[in-house]
Structure 1
Amino acid sequence: MIRKVHEIKLQLRYRDIDSLGHVNNAVFLSYFEIGRIGLFRLNSDDYRVDSINFVIAHMEIDFLKTLHLFDDVILRTRIVKVGRTSFTFDHIILSEQGKDVYCHGTAVAVAMKDGSKVPVPQFIKDLLAD
């Protein structure tokens, strides 16, 4: 059965915190990477980094609420759009209770092989969220 949404409780680290006492904006990109890898691993017993070749071509993030070290948060990741050679991830970080949204972002990935764009593989198309 294909699971089209990956959720994980994030373990925030001291190194994620900046001098203002909140999670540094750049760290959110690393959190989103955790979600992308998790989505693929969730749906493949033999997931390997070299079996999924794509590059991130574009990212957008809206920071909606300050995130602190001891906040309990969930990262939710899904694929929301698939084109011929690209596909779009949707990422959201929210409180465990789902009441507060800390940030929302998208990442556009381009399928690659030997340095050139290629059609998006079927297994990625199958992950498109309803």
Structure 2
Amino acid sequence: MYTEDLKVRFYETDALGHVNNTVIPAWFETGRLPVFELFTEQGNLYEVSLIVANLNVDFLRPVYFGEMVTLKTYIARIGKSSFDIGSEVWQSGQLCAKGTTILVNYDHKNGHSVPISEAIKAKLLQQTHPDHPLAS
């Protein structure tokens, strides 16, 4: 599992001081970067073969300006050519938002999904959530 502390920026909030609903998915994307890096040997993110097939967000509590948030990103499911990333936003010890992103390993040249290598699957398995078993 990857964990990152983020500072809520003023421009991410609305008139009530809540983080805007469009910001949470962007934070989830930031949390996915270490996963993308697993799919490239040279660290060139432009070579990553992953595409987003689905993104769901559950907004559980408002997130406020002036307090740090913790972003948790983990692997929730591993399939043949796709996998799920779980994401959570925590503030003041409370879960404020959670979501799932389905990523597909994709061959852009030939226009279809391709299997995830066993070596990459082994790396993905190292990033599961300690409290959530992998979905099958």
Which category describes the TM-score, using the shorter chain as reference length?
0.7 to 0.9
SS of the residue aligned with 1:30?
helix
Question: 2:31 — aligned with what?
Answer: 35
Matches within 5 A, 1:83-94: 83-94=79-90
Superposed CA deviations along residues 22-60 of structure 1, whole A, max 9, x for unmatched, are 111111111001111034558988422134211111111
Indicate yes or no: 2:44 matched with 1:48: yes
1:40-93 Cα shifts (integer Å, max 9, x gaps): 558988422134211111111111110011122100101110111110000011
Percent identical residues: 30
TM-score scaled by length of structure 1 = 0.83
User: Distance in 1 between the 2:50 and 2:40 partners?
Assistant: 17
Structure 1: unaligned runs, 5 residues or longer: none
Say whether residues 1:10 and 2:6 are aligned partners. yes
Give the corresponding residue for 2:105.
Answer: 111
- For the 8 Å contact 2:58–2:97, the answer to whether it is kept is yes
What letter is aligned with 2:121? K
Task: Please give the secondary structure, in 2, of the residue aligned with 1:12.
Answer: coil
Q: Kindly state the Cα deviation for residue 18 of structure 1 after the two structures are TM-superposed.
A: 2.0
What secondary structure does 1:107 align onto? strand
- Tell me whether 66-75 or 44-53 shows the greater mean CA deviation: 44-53
Q: Does 1:79 align with 2:75?
A: yes
Task: Describe the shift of the 1:27–1:125 C-alpha distance in structure 2 as closer, same or farther (beyond 3 A).
Answer: same
Q: CA deviation at 1:118?
A: 0.7
1:101 to 76, 95, 100: 95
**TM-score in terms of structure 2 length:** 0.79
| Structure 2 residue identity aligned to 1:106 | T
- Aligned positions, number: 124
Paired residues of 2:53 and 2:101 also in contact (CA < 8 A): yes
Q: Which one is further off, 66-75 or 15-24? A: 15-24
- CA offsets 1:108-128 (integer angstroms, 9 cap, x no match): 011111232111233441212
